[in-house]
Amino acid sequence: MSRWLLLFLIFAVAAASLFVACNGDDDDDNDAADDDTADDDTADDDTSDDDLPDVDPYCSGEPDEALDGLTAPVGGLCADEDVPVVAACPVRVNESSDNDEQPYFLGETCHGRVVAFWKRDNYDCGEKSAKALTNLSSAMRRFDASEAAPIDHERELDEQAGDVGLALADRFVNAFVYVVEGGAKDHTGVAVQVFRHDGKRVGEWRQLDADDEFRRPESLSLTPIGTEFFFSWYAAPSGGGDGKIYARRFGTDGEPVGDQVELPFLDASVYWATRGDKILAVTNATEGVETKALSKGMYAYLLNGDLELVAGPTLLEDGEEYSHRPTFVEWTGDDEFRVVEIVSRDEGYDIAARLYHADGTPNGDEAVLVAQPDAIFFPRVVSDPDGGLTVVWANGVEDARCVQFQARSFDTNLAPTSEAKTLLYSDSYNQSRYSAARLSNGRLALAFGAFDGAEQCPLDTYLQLFDEANEAVCLK
């Protein structure tokens, strides 16, 4: 019995030692560990999509309430009898309808609202002329994210000339970043303006410096870095010649952080993705490649949080056989990202995607998401809550005025989880003017242009929500 008692005591002492080693027996060590945890929590507050601090100025104020009777669902959007009827019930976004109202951005606010932005051409309907290019304004309006009931009236943000690019610095922090190209009323070159989630201005317009005279905002290149965002723009000599792409960081109050940086890209489509302090840029042009191949290959660059080049250019697709143009980039892990692209083949266009390791080497074969449609009008790609993605695209239907919007969803391995589904038809002459977003409640939001009646003027902006199965959700 004494041997069993001795073994028991040895076992008890060993277990106690193991417990102390795993949990620590020093109060100071525990305090230090608690401090580390507190630091982590503080850092999380900067970037978390949830539980924003009460003092956040962009999400303060009373909750919004839905407004009644401001809009109503509309019927079919294509009068052609040969066009199939698809169940849809879009809500008109713009309240005034004397001018063309073209959607150009769709997002979500911190109160769980969907927000639509559009560009307004301020001219008499039917009098399209050169002066229309210098008489533009932009507006926004918020809607309930469950059924698209409007929660406020439209708000005009600013009247400017030239093209506009806009993005949410963070879909829950909701500093709206609004940029205007050269030729605007009071701004020569590119300027930045920040707005609150309700459209109220934060600070003043901030002019960005550049030595070149012609400037163009690179829309879709606004990406949050914690509580900051960075913005890139293209600048070229007014007399011609090669241009450069610049970038600069800003706080969500619109104040610059650091100096502007010249990036090693040529004039090309640039798509961004961030994960922590790693910034990924994918483009279809790079220096050091023959001019003939500039628009064909696809390249990746890795930057740090200070917009300094860490690696690249890394060749993703050589473009020797087909032309590759990125349209969506996203990190799927610390060391992996995915790119959705438009591939131009001899027989038509494909929307394809591929996973890559962080060093740019492929992680699997290219997956064709949408095969050779008759025509692709700038597909929109959104991330799904389960880690997959949904592709939305538009095709013309015989009569060029009638556009078919379709969607298809895929899992994390780019395998399809649904068949291609027609969302709705729109009688819009400008098929590329539409926007899509996946909301935090799982709804798919689509903003698009449609004519008010049989005439091709004016163009109105409409909003339609869809459930997880891409079925239309109507106002009750």
Q: Mean pLDDT score of the chain, rounded to an integer?
A: 72
What pLDDT score was predicted for residue 378? 79
What pLDDT score was predicted for residue 186? 45
What pLDDT score was predicted for residue 7? 41
What pLDDT score was predicted for residue 312? 87
Q: Return d(Cα 304, Cα 80) in angstroms, integer.
A: 52
| Residue ranges in the chain whose pLDDT is less than 70 | 1-83, 97, 110, 122-136, 158-189, 209-227, 237-242, 252, 266-269, 285-295, 374-375, 397-401, 428-431, 452-457
What pLDDT score was predicted for residue 229? 77
What pLDDT score was predicted for residue 24? 40
Host H or E run for residue 359 = none
What pLDDT score was predicted for residue 286? 52
- For residue 64, give the DSSP letter: P
Instruction: Encode pLDDT of 3-61 as tens digits.
Output: 444 444 444 444 444 333 333 433 333 333 333 333 333 333 333 333 333 334 445 55
Task: Find out if CATH 2.40.160.10 is the number for domain 72-473.
Answer: no
Of the candidates 199, 207, 337, 364, the one whose C-alpha atom is nearest the C-alpha of residue 275 is 337
Task: Let me know if 3 is exposed, middle or buried by CB neighbors in 10 A (0-12, 13-18, 19+).
Answer: exposed
| Residue 108 near residue 440, CB atoms below 8 Å | yes
